[in-house]
Amino acid sequence: MKYRYHIGALLLFFGFVVVVFTAVERILLFQHTDAPEILSIQTMNEPSPEKQATSGIRFTGEHEPYILTFNNPQFMHTLFPTWYRLSEQGGIEPIISSQKMDIMQKNTDRQLFPSVIDEDDEQRMVSFLTDPNKQKEAIEALVSLAKTQNHTGIDITFSRVPPEHGEDFTAFIKKLDDKLTEQKKQLSITLPPAIGKGNDSAYTQAFDWVTIGTLADSVQILGYNADGTSPNERYLSQDDYLDLLYYAKTRIPLEKIGIVLPLENTRWNNNDVTVISHTETLTQINQQPGDPIRDTSSGILLRDIQYPQGIELLAIVDSAYIKQRIQLAKNEGIHFFSYNGVGNENPFLWQDIVE
């Protein structure tokens, strides 16, 4: 009788261990790897055929990984790594080491569109757009990179084009598109939102959306205002977001449109914004219990946090916000989405993106 008791107890213990291990394994499946050079995106469910071909990721700044891994081989069809910027001397220069680029290129079979940015530098932008020699040098370098590195194409993300130089920008992308097409490479253009308040608004007037939609193979449109001076300006109200979708689809062929959505949380001190990781967000909320409040205009979660320097506002991207933005775009016939802020996000968001 005593042995039966011990055997029963052992069976219960092992059953408990199995349950705990399964739960831990389920949680770990969503976590990024410990090594900062590797970013692993994990999802429990298989993506639908639609999601396999209509999803992309954008990388910026210090969150550029060496290697990007996926447990679902067909998930995230297209990558937009920010690898280059306009140089002060003319032409382009790399932002990260060639070693990182090489390692990532060898470890992905996705479509790859390296992005070129202007570093939010209007003076550098004007110098570039008014100097044919600088443009020629940049075009030759980009076409050579696309050809020799076997990129799918090149993405241009210029956010500081003054309205008076809009025609110069259009002329530049026309020349770049001609050269890329000769090499059977594609051109992607990323645009700031044309609707909504914030520092971006003055620059959106420079872009001829109709001509860009004709020239480019794809047009990625920020579904948020990276230069907004408040959470409402950054994440756009629902009305402004809908206006943006309508503005885009009446100027650009639907099959070319992609919407860029933010995954990272932000911290606001008056008009100053800082991107913060999901881990830091959880730490701050756990130390100062209280439920975030959903903003009725933008749909983002907001939470006041007491810091040594005073009260700051956390803006939190959650499943409800992401799902709403995706669905609103789909209602307008737009089905390609890419995601910015990878490395800082709540890993559970990927499950909502897949479903």
Please provide the DSSP assignment of 265-320 as one string: EEEEETTEEEEE-HHHHHHHHHHS----EE-TTT--EEEEEEETTEEEEEEE--HH
pLDDT at position 69 is 58
pTM of the model: 0.82
Answer yes or no: is 126 within a domain: yes
Report the CATH number at residue 223.
Answer: 3.20.20.80
Burial class (CB in 10 A: 0-12, 13-18, 19+), 57: buried
Structural domains in the chain (count): 1
Q: Does residue 320 lie in a domain region?
A: no
Cβ atoms of residues 313 and 234 within 8 Å = no
Q: What is the pLDDT along the chain (355 residues), one digit of tens a residue?
A: 444 444 444 444 444 433 333 332 222 223 333 333 444 555 444 545 454 445 667 765 444 444 555 555 556 678 888 889 888 877 889 887 777 777 777 666 778 898 998 877 888 899 999 999 999 999 999 999 999 888 899 999 998 898 899 999 999 999 999 999 999 999 999 998 876 544 445 557 789 999 999 999 999 999 998 878 888 889 999 999 999 999 999 999 999 999 999 988 999 988 788 888 888 888 888 888 788 999 999 999 999 988 877 888 999 999 999 999 999 999 999 988 888 877 777 877 877 776 6
Question: What is the pLDDT, as a whole number, of residue 304?
Answer: 92
Q: Are 160 and 169 in contact (CB under 8 A)?
A: no
At a CB cut-off of 8 Å and minimum separation 6, what does 316 contact? Answer: 265, 281, 292, 300, 301, 302, 303
Helices 238-249, 319-331: inter-axial angle, 10-degree rounding: 30
Determine, yes or no, domain membership for 108. Answer: yes
In a domain, 1, yes or no: no
Q: Is residue 140 part of a domain?
A: yes
Q: What is the structure's pLDDT at 34? A: 35
195: containing domain: 31-261+331-354
Distance CA 35, CA 26 (A): 20
Note whether residue 286 is domain-resident. no
Residue 15 counted as domain residue: no
* Angle, vertex CA 145, rays to CA 142 and CA 149, nearest 5: 155
What crossing angle do the helices spanning 122-129 and 132-148 adopt, rounded to 10°? 90
Give a yes or no: residue 78 inside a domain.
yes
